[in-house]
């Protein structure tokens, strides 16, 4: 509590330095006078007594300086001085200032634009026609919150009037068998209305119809990414059977890819995301740009005559 | 090290508070002389270091100061303990006693062996 109070007083001390300075000078002077008189009583000359008094004090200016530092917040004063100096220099060189400000503005602007797009496209949005109208539902019970059971979902879907449609999905890993090899894939087990609620169409074949589940036939719809990665974009895949964790499923459709995904994979054409060469090249490029960006101003600064630099200061 | 002991950090504040508690209002010079006397002239007090310490205590609200007239009819700034200061003396003294008591336990066996 005491130190907080001290901080406040020191901050206020910044605003009115003159009075406190005079006040302390008077206090020190009276201290020195009293001490001088005491020394004179011991038989010293006035000059020698005063000298001894100052010696015992540890110096007039040193004491004032220590007092001043305790009175205000010296680092804040230094900071304010530095800021004033920086501002003065910036005003003196409007061209340089403009370029620096523009560079920063462009950099910050471009960064936030890229991240806004990336966040909206990759992190926030669902692959739906109108993602802003989607909501996610949780169940909340005294035991905690979590997912709904399938019967609960059926009741919700049947009785809800405030939602246009309610879909259910449950994600798990499955093993996809490809000839002699097998591969782990993520599989979403979804309600038949999944695609119609989300508003996603198939680029080949069809998605699920409301009758799909009732018939009990094991069918899958495959994502564009998996189609490219695993099935080499084979157009005859629709209608064939694939094996997921020991069970055969008929591929009924192939989803259209998202615009962003298509853009990204077209950029990555012929390059794996883990290609060491592309990492090395991009790192080298960044280092090169940084070197050039530091070397040019350094060279320019070194070319200036020191006398010239001092005169500008 | 010289014959006299330097005042180390933190203890000066307690000496000031304790001196003001027992002596009542004092000016800076009187306080410095009194602290030297109380220490039995053992302490080498640089009088200048007293003033930042006094300022700190004043900022913390443990002492307050006012201009007055000294015993020799000289204008001087007098310092006196506040209520918060009186509480602080008790607290700091108790803490200091505890510290020295603990340290004394560590030093005691060594003295026996010597």
A216 vs A221: CA distance, rounded Å: 15
Residue B21 has what pLDDT? 93
Residue A34 has what pLDDT? 92
Residue ranges of chain B whose CB lies within 8 Å of a chain A CB: 27-30, 46-49, 51-52, 55-56, 59-62, 70, 72, 74-77, 84, 88
Which is higher by pLDDT, A124 or B44?
B44
pLDDT mean over A258-283 = 62
DSSP 8-state symbol, A269: T
B88 contacts in chain A (CB < 8 Å) = 2
Q: Is A298 helix (H, G, I), strand (E, B) or coil?
A: helix
Q: Is A63 on the interface with B (CB under 8 A)?
A: yes
A151 vs A160: CA distance, rounded Å: 14
Q: Give me chain B's average pLDDT, please.
A: 85
Residue B18 has what pLDDT? 93
DSSP-assigned states of every residue in B2-55: -SSEEPPTTHHHHHHHHHHHHH-SEEHHHHHHHHHHHTTT-EE--HHHHHHHHH
pLDDT in tens, B54-71: 999 998 899 999 999 988
User: A273 pLDDT exceeds 80?
Assistant: no
What six digits make up the tokens of A70? 């305790």
- The torsion angles phi and psi of B75, rounded to 5 degrees, stand at -70, 130
- The segment with the largest mean pLDDT, out of A35-39, A140-144, A214-218, is A35-39
Cα-Cα-Cα-Cα torsion A83, A85, A89, A94, nearest 10 degrees, comes to 40
Residue B114 has what pLDDT? 44
Residue of chain A whose Cα is closest to the Cα of B52: A67
* Contact by Cβ (8 Å): A230, A182: no
The nearest CA of chain A is from the CA of B10 a distance in Å of 14
A6 vs A2: CA distance, rounded Å: 6
Mean pLDDT is lowest, of A190-194, B1-5, B6-10, B33-37, for B1-5
pLDDT in tens, A26-69: 999 999 999 999 999 999 899 999 999 999 898 899 999 988 88
DSSP-assigned states of every residue in A127-193: SSSSGGG-----EEETTEEEPPPHHHHHHHHHH-SSSS----EEEEEEEEEETTEEEEEEEEEE-TT
Residue B1 has what pLDDT? 36
Residue of chain B whose Cα is closest to the Cα of A8: B59
For residue A274, what pLDDT band results from cuts at 50, 70 and 90? low
CB burial of residue A3 (10 Å; 0-12, 13-18, 19+): exposed
CA atoms within 13 A on the CB side of A148: 16
User: A124 pLDDT exceeds 60?
Assistant: no
Q: Is A24 on the interface with B (CB under 8 A)?
A: yes
Which is higher by pLDDT, A116 or A268?
A116
Q: Do B59 and A5 touch (CB under 8 A)?
A: yes
The nearest CA of chain A is from the CA of B88 a distance in Å of 10
Q: Do B51 and A24 touch (CB under 8 A)?
A: yes
Q: Do B70 and A30 touch (CB under 8 A)?
A: yes
pLDDT mean over A266-271 = 52
A27 contacts in chain B (CB < 8 Å) = 28, 51, 76-77
Residue of chain A whose Cα is closest to the Cα of B33: A35
3-state secondary structure B40-105: CCCEECCHHHHHHHHHHHHHCCCEEEEEEECCCCCEEEEEEECHHHHHHHHHHHHHHHHHHHHHHH
Q: Do B62 and A31 touch (CB under 8 A)?
A: no
Q: Do B47 and A56 touch (CB under 8 A)?
A: yes
- The torsion angles phi and psi of B88, rounded to 5 degrees, stand at -65, -35
Going by C-beta distance under 8 Å and a sequence separation of 6 or more, which residues neighbour residue B101? none
A246 vs A158: CA distance, rounded Å: 33
pLDDT in tens, A219-251: 888 887 788 778 888 888 888 888 888 888 888
pLDDT in tens, A182-213: 888 888 888 888 888 888 888 888 888 777 76
Mean pLDDT is lowest, of A100-104, A225-229, A282-286, B15-19, for A225-229
Largest CA distance in chain A: 120
pLDDT mean over A76-93 = 89
Residue A116 has what pLDDT? 77
Rounded to a whole number of angstroms, the distance between the first and last alpha carbons of chain B is 22
Residue among B48, B55, B70 whose CB faces A58 most closely: B48
Largest CA distance in chain B: 57
């Amino acid at each position: 509590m005491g130190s907080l109070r001290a901080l406040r007083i020191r901050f206020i001390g910044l605003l009115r330095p003159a009075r406190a300075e005079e006040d302390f000078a008077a206090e020190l002077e009276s201290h020195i006078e009293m001490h001088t008189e005491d020394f004179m009583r011991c038989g010293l000359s006035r000059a020698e007594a005063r000298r001894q008094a100052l010696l015992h004090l540890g110096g007039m200016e040193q004491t004032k300086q220590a007092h001043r530092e305790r009175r205000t917040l010296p680092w804040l004063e230094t900071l304010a001085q530095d800021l004033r100096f920086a501002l003065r220099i910036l005003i003196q060189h409007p061209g340089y200032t403009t370029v620096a400000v523009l560079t920063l503005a462009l950099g910050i602007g471009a960064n936030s634009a890229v991240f806004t797009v990336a966040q909206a496209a990759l992190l926030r949005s669902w692959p739906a026609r109108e993602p802003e109208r989607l909501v996610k539902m949780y169940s909340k019970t005294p035991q905690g919150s979590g997912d709904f059971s399938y019967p609960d979902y059926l009741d919700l879907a049947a009785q809800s009037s405030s939602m246009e449609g309610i879909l259910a999905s449950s994600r798990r890993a499955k093993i996809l068998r490809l000839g002699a090899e097998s591969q782990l894939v993520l599989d979403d087990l979804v309600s038949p209305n999944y695609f119609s609620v989300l508003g996603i169409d198939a680029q080949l074949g069809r998605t699920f119809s409301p009758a799909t589940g009732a018939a009990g036939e094991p069918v899958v719809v495959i994502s564009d990414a998996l189609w490219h990665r695993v099935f080499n974009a084979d157009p005859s895949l629709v209608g064939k059977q694939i094996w997921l964790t020991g069970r055969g499923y008929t591929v009924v459709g192939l989803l259209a890819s998202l615009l962003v995904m298509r853009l990204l994979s077209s950029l990555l054409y012929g390059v794996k995301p883990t290609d060491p060469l592309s990492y090395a090249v991009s790192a080298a490029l960044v280092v090169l740009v940084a070197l050039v960006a530091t070397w040019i101003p350094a060279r320019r600064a070194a070319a200036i005559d020191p006398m010239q630099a001092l005169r500008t200061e | 090290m010289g014959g006299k002991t330097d005042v180390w950090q933190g203890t000066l504040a307690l000496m000031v508070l304790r001196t003001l508690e027992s002596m009542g209002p004092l000016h800076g010079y009187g306080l410095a002389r009194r602290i030297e006397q109380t220490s039995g002239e053992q302490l080498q007090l640089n009088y200048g270091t007293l003033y930042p310490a006094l300022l700190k205590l004043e900022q913390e609200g443990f002492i307050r100061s006012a201009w007055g007239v000294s015993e020799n009819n000289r204008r001087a700034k007098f310092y006196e303990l506040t209520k918060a200061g009186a509480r602080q003396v008790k607290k700091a003294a108790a803490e200091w006693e505890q510290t020295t008591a603990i340290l004394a336990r560590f030093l005691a066996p060594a003295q026996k062996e010597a």
